[in-house]
Amino acid sequence: MGAGTEPSEAQNDAAEGRVYLDYNATTPLAPEVAQAVRDALHQAWGNPSSSHPAGRKAKEVVGSARESLARMVGGRPEDIVFTSGGTEANNMVIHTACRHFHESQARPGDSRGMPHIVTSSVEHDSVRLPVEQLVKESLAEATFVAVSPRSGRVEVDDVLAAVRPTTCLVSIMLANNETGVIMPVADLSQHIRVLNQRRATEGLPRILVHTDAAQMIGKGRVDVQELGVDYLTIVGHKFYGPRIGALYARGPGTTTPLHPMLFGGGQERSFRPGTENTPMIAGLGQAAELVSKNWEAYESHMRDVRDYLEAKLEASFGKQRIHLNSHFTGSKRLCNTCNFSILGPGLQGQRVLSRCRTLLASVGAACHSEKGDRPSSILLSCGIPYDVAQNALRLSVGRDTTRADVDLVVQDLVLAVGQLDQDQAL
C-alpha cells in the first residue's frame, strides 16, 4: 500500500465498528509519518556520527528533522534536543534546574539552602512524580499551586505568590490533558522575566520557566517566542508522530542551562548521548511538518466535531443530566477535548465504558487507568464534586473524527446508560 492509502489504527477500529475517541492518550501514526520512518529505516540506516556516505545521509535526516521541530515551535534548530519522550524531557529540566541552583551560588561554600520548585496541582505525573521524589529525598522543596475552581487554570498571581528566594524553576503545563484547559503560560513568563531582573540585583538565583506542551502541539498555536519560556516539552505520539520526543531549550548550555542525565558518546552535543534513533527522529520531523502546515485546519475541524459532540450529548441525555467538566468561565480550552459526566447513580465512568460496544475512550489520563472508580484527582482539584467526577468520561476527537462518528458514539452511550439505569432499578 502507498503512504497515502495506508489505513491508520483509528481507521482500522472504524472498520471493526469501533470509534476511537482517546486522542489525548495517543494518536496513530499519520501515513506520511509512517512512510518517513520506513524510508529512513531503508535509506538512512548509517550511524549519524560516521563520516562515510551512509553516516552522512543519516546525519542529514536528523538535521532536517531538527529544523522541522524548531520551525513548528518557533525556535532555532540548535535549541532542539531529541529525547526518548516527554518523561525524559521533563525529568531533564527538573534535574537541570536543581543543579543550576547549586552551581550558580555566588562563591564556593555559600549556601542558599535547598532549591525550590513551583508547579501546579494538575501536572502530568512525569512532572509531579520527579518533583515529589526530590522532596522525598530532601534534595528540593516544592509548592504545588492549586488551580482555581472558577477558571480551572493555575492563576498567575497564585504562582507568583508561591515564589521564594530559593525558587529555581516554575513548571506549568500548556494545556491540561484531562480538562483541556489552557494555562496562562505567556503571561506568567512575562511576570517572571520582570521578577528575574529584580532578583539579579539582589543576588538571588534565576527562575527558569518550563512548559510541557504535550497536549497543545497540533491542536493550537505553539510559539516559544510568544510563550517566553526557557524550556518546552514536545511529545511525538500526541501529534500523529512516533513515541519519541524532544526538548526545546532556549540556547542550551549558553543562554539557558541544560545538564545531561546520561553520559556517553557525545551525541546531541552531549546533552543527550546515545546513538540517534534516526527512523523515529525522521518520523517526528515529518509529524512536525504536518503540524506547521496544517495546525489551523486541524484545530478548526476538531473544534467543530467536539462542539457537535457536546451539543449531541445535551440533546440526547438532556442538559440537566450532562455535566461538562471542562467548561470554566473565561478559560480557553483545547479544541478536541470533551470531559463530561452523565449524572446519576451507578454511572461511574468505567462502568459506562464497559457497556459501550462502539466507543473507545477513557475516564482520564491513560497513565491512571488502573485506579478503578476513584475519581480523577485533576477533576477534584478543579472543584468538580466527588460524585460528578466519579462519573467522568474524557472524549478527545482527532483529525479524522467525523460528525457521523459522534452520532454512533452518542447512540452507544445512550444504550449503555439505559442498561445501567435498568440494572440500578432492579
Active-site residues: which are they? Answer: 367
What nine digits make up the cell of 330? 473565561
d(CA 83, CA 68): 15
Q: Beta-strand (E) ranges in 4-135?
A: 19-20, 80-83, 116-120
Q: At what angle do helices 53-73 and 278-317 cross, to 10 degrees?
A: 30
Per the document, the length of the chain is: 426
Distance CA 123, CA 129 (A): 9
Rounded Cα distance between 25 and 310, Å, is 20
Per-residue H/E/C for 116-161: EEEEECCCCHHHHHHHHHHHHCCCCEEEEECCCCCCCCCCHHHHHH
Reading phi first (left if > 0) and then psi (alpha if -120 to 50, else beta), residue 387 is in alpha
User: Helix 278-317 to helix 31-43 angle, to the nearest 10 degrees?
Assistant: 170
Q: Which residues contact 44 (CB under 8 A, 6 or more apart)?
A: 57, 58, 60, 61, 278, 279, 282
